[in-house]
């Protein structure tokens, strides 16, 4: 047995055989063909295996659209013209692997030349080629494995495209070599409720099939464990899941101190799925603006906002005005050419240059709010000064919306939290950006994951300053960054004076259960100890 460590980003225990995402195989040097018939057979068998595998996956797919896509891909791999091209190439002296590669290249060129729908299928052809080549070389097919039994998935990092293939009934845990607490893997794992550890150097050196266990809270991984150990970890995970699902109702400590448990959403669909939340703590409005050359008009915005408000009738919805720039570029704002976009014109700063974007959005929010009975709060992203906050609050109130707040994402704002609460009604801490700007560490760079750990005492100290400001003014101070979904951190945040936690809906039950296990006095004691910790590892230990 050996031990590895990484950063735990999605709580829970898991165990099972480890399988890695296989890389796309490189083409070997061409080999002479000794037996043409045997070579053709080998190539056809590889194509047939790809077709069978896609069919199996289509049968297992839960969503009809996914099954349809997989069946369409299978038909492309089963194309007699493709087999003909492969055979011809082998008969001309090319080995099976290169014949497959050449046949797909010809098909690809034809699809591209046809344009339209066919040109859009080029990526599918590339995927089929990679799979057939891998099989021909006796390697596992690239992409997320589909072994038909539960396993722990290991990868360098998960690409958004991998997520469509990720079946939570097969994948019981995630371990990545790269990535940080705000990486795509971490966000996905929390959304699916899968235990996950990121930034685990050495995990890709562990052989496929090795039995492993992982702890998504501590980041500890054991490799080469016995069947008995896996069984015992599974039993512990099942007990924990039962205890978590048993907790319902509003968020509170065991002695009744309320901490509102809210959901992060990007659309009406998300809001409907977040029915178990006490409201929405972060409605990211960017989704509506993405990939557009022109901003959506007033009516379109009203309709989109109304959908979320209607799904949360009678409950709080904190809607954030457009957060564009840096990691969320929007074409219609023409922001190219900034030398350092994360420090450039982004978030509320855009309103200075394009005031009509903010005023249209506020008008749309106000209209949608009138049409539903959600309790609508409006906040601005990337606020740095009290003057910016005051100007924003005035604009929100002038639009007829009573509750105006700002996000705390910049250390300057955290340091002036009490003054900010003098001009706005509430604060919401965006720990993803607050980490980035506190540690001068790009949130998208996996190698900086340790700095972006939400248990960093410096980050917690800034959160504490905001919590103190909230207590002093009696106003609401929430956390809506990824840190809010860490169940072990929830008592710490409550102890620091945080009044609401907003996260992906799937993360709510575990956070609710964690809060319910402590009194407020215990939360405060843990919070004080954690603030004094030397580093994130010690902070975690003090809170456990």
Ligand X SMILES: C=C(OP(=O)(O)O)C(=O)O
Region from 249-257, 304-312, 366-374, 430-438 binding Mg ion, contact rule CB under 5 A: 430-438
Token representation of residue 519? 């009194």
CB closer to Mg ion, 325 vs 509: 325
CB of 458 to ligand X, least distance (A): 16
Token representation of residue 216? 């998504």
**Full DSSP string of 174-236:** EEESS--TTSHHHHHHHHHT--EEES-TTGGGSPTT-EEEEETTTTEEEES--HHHHHHHHHH
Cα–Cα separations (whole angstroms), residue 414 to 321, 460, 487: 19, 11, 23
CB of 61 to ligand X, least distance (A): 30
Rounded to the nearest angstrom, the gap between the alpha carbon of residue 82 and the centroid of all alpha carbons in its chain is 38
The DSSP H or E segment spanning 370 is: helix 355-370
Binding mask 284-303 for ligand X (x = CB under 6 A): x-------------------
CB closer to ligand X, 342 vs 415: 342
CB of 266 to Mg ion, least distance (A): 13
What does the alpha-carbon distance between residue 356 and residue 381 come to, in Å, rounded to a whole number? 17
CB closer to Mg ion, 409 vs 524: 409
What does the alpha-carbon distance between residue 20 and residue 374 come to, in Å, rounded to a whole number? 45
For the question of residue 107 being annotated catalytic, the response is: no
CB of 454 to ligand X, least distance (A): 10
Q: Which residues contact 298 (CB under 8 A, 6 or more apart)?
A: 360, 363, 364, 367
Binding residues with ligand X: total (CB under 6 A): 10
Among 178, 278, 295, 433, binds Mg ion (CB under 5 A): 433
Residue 11 has what DSSP assignment? -
**Contacts made by residues 66-71, CB under 8 angstroms, sequence distance 24+:** 66/164
Interaction between residue 432 and ligand X (CB under 6 A) = yes
Among 101, 130, 425, 433, binds ligand X (CB under 6 A): 433
Q: State the number of CA atoms in the 13 A half-sphere of 352 facing the CB.
A: 11
Interaction between residue 270 and ligand X (CB under 6 A) = no
For the question of residue 136 being annotated catalytic, the response is: no
Region from 65-73, 331-339, 425-433, 511-519 binding ligand X, contact rule CB under 6 A: 425-433
What does the alpha-carbon distance between residue 410 and residue 427 come to, in Å, rounded to a whole number? 12
The listed partner (ligand X, Mg ion, none) that binds 284, CB under 5 to 8 Å by sort, is ligand X
Region from 32-40, 283-291, 354-362, 422-430 binding Mg ion, contact rule CB under 5 A: 422-430
CB of 380 to ligand X, least distance (A): 12
CB closer to ligand X, 75 vs 412: 412
Region from 98-106, 181-189, 294-302, 425-433 binding Mg ion, contact rule CB under 5 A: 425-433
Q: Which residue out of 136, 200, 466, 480 is catalytically annotated?
A: 480
Cα–Cα separations (whole angstroms), residue 319 to 97, 267, 378, 453, 531: 54, 11, 5, 26, 31
Interaction between residue 430 and ligand X (CB under 6 A) = yes
* Residues 504, 264 contacting (CB under 8 angstroms): yes
What does the alpha-carbon distance between residue 502 and residue 263 come to, in Å, rounded to a whole number? 5
Region from 7-15, 140-148, 337-345, 424-432 binding ligand X, contact rule CB under 6 A: 424-432
Token representation of residue 245? 């699902």
CB closer to Mg ion, 9 vs 90: 9
Interaction between residue 430 and Mg ion (CB under 5 A) = yes
CB of 282 to ligand X, least distance (A): 6
Interaction between residue 431 and ligand X (CB under 6 A) = yes
Q: Report the catalytic residues.
A: 184, 480
Question: Using CB under 6 A as the criterion, which residues of the chain lie in contact with ligand X when the complex forms?
Answer: 282, 284, 323, 409, 430-433, 480-481
């Amino acid at each position: 047995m050996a031990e590895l460590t990484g950063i735990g980003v999605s709580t829970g225990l898991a165990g099972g055989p480890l399988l890695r995402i296989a890389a796309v195989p490189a083409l070997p040097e061409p080999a002479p063909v000794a037996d043409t018939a045997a070579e053709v057979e080998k190539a056809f068998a590889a194509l047939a295996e790809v077709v069978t595998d896609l069919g199996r996956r289509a049968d297992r797919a839960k969503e009809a659209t996914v099954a349809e896509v997989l069946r369409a891909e299978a038909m492309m791999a089963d194309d007699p013209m493709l087999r003909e091209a492969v055979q011809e190439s082998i008969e001309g002296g090319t080995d099976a692997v290169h014949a497959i590669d050449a046949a797909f290249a010809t098909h690809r060129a034809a699809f591209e030349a046809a344009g339209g729908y066919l040109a859009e299928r080029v990526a599918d052809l590339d995927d089929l080629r990679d799979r057939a080549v891998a099989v021909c070389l006796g390697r596992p097919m690239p992409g997320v494995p589909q072994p038909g039994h539960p396993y722990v998935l290991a990868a360098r990092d998960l690409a958004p495209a991998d997520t469509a293939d990720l079946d939570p009934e097969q994948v019981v845990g995630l371990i990545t070599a790269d990535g940080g607490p705000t990486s795509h893997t971490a966000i996905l794992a929390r959304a699916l409720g899968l235990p996950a550890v990121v930034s685990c150097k050495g995990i890709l050196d562990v052989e496929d099939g090795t039995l492993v266990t992982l702890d998504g809270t501590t980041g500890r991984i054991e490799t080469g464990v016995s069947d008995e150990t896996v069984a015992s970890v599974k039993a512990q995970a099942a007990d924990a899941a039962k205890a978590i699902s048993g907790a319902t109702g509003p968020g509170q400590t065991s002695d009744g101190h309320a901490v509102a448990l809210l959901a992060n959403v990007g659309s009406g669909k998300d809001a409907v799925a977040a029915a178990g939340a006490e409201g929405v703590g972060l409605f990211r409005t960017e989704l509506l603006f993405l990939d557009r050359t022109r901003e959506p008009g007033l009516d379109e915005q009203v309709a989109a906002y109304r959908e979320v408000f209607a799904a949360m009738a009678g409950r709080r919805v904190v809607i954030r005005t457009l957060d564009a720039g840096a990691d969320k570029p929007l074409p219609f704002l023409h922001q190219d050419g900034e030398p350092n976009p994360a420090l450039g014109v982004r978030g509320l700063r855009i309103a200075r240059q394009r005031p009509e974007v903010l005023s249209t959005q506020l008008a749309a929010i106000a209209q949608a709010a009138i049409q539903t009975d959600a309790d609508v709060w409006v906040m601005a992203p990337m606020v740095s000064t009290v003057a910016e906050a005051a100007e924003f609050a005035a604009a929100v109130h002038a639009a007829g919306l009573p509750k105006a707040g700002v996000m705390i994402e910049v250390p300057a704002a955290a340091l002036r939290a009490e003054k900010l609460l003098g001009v706005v009604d509430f604060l919401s801490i965006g720990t993803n950006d607050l980490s980035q700007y506190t540690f001068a560490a790009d949130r998208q760079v996996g190698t900086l994951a340790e700095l972006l750990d939400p248990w960093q005492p410096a980050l917690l100290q800034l959160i504490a300053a905001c919590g103190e400001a909230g207590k002093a003014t009696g106003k609401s101070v929430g956390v809506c960054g990824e840190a809010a979904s860490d169940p072990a951190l929830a008592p710490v945040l409550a102890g620091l004076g945080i009044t609401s936690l907003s996260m992906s809906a799937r993360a709510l039950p575990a956070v609710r259960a964690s809060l319910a296990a402590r009194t407020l006095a215990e939360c405060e004691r843990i919070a004080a100890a954690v603030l004094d910790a030397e580093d994130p590892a010690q902070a975690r230990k003090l809170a456990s």
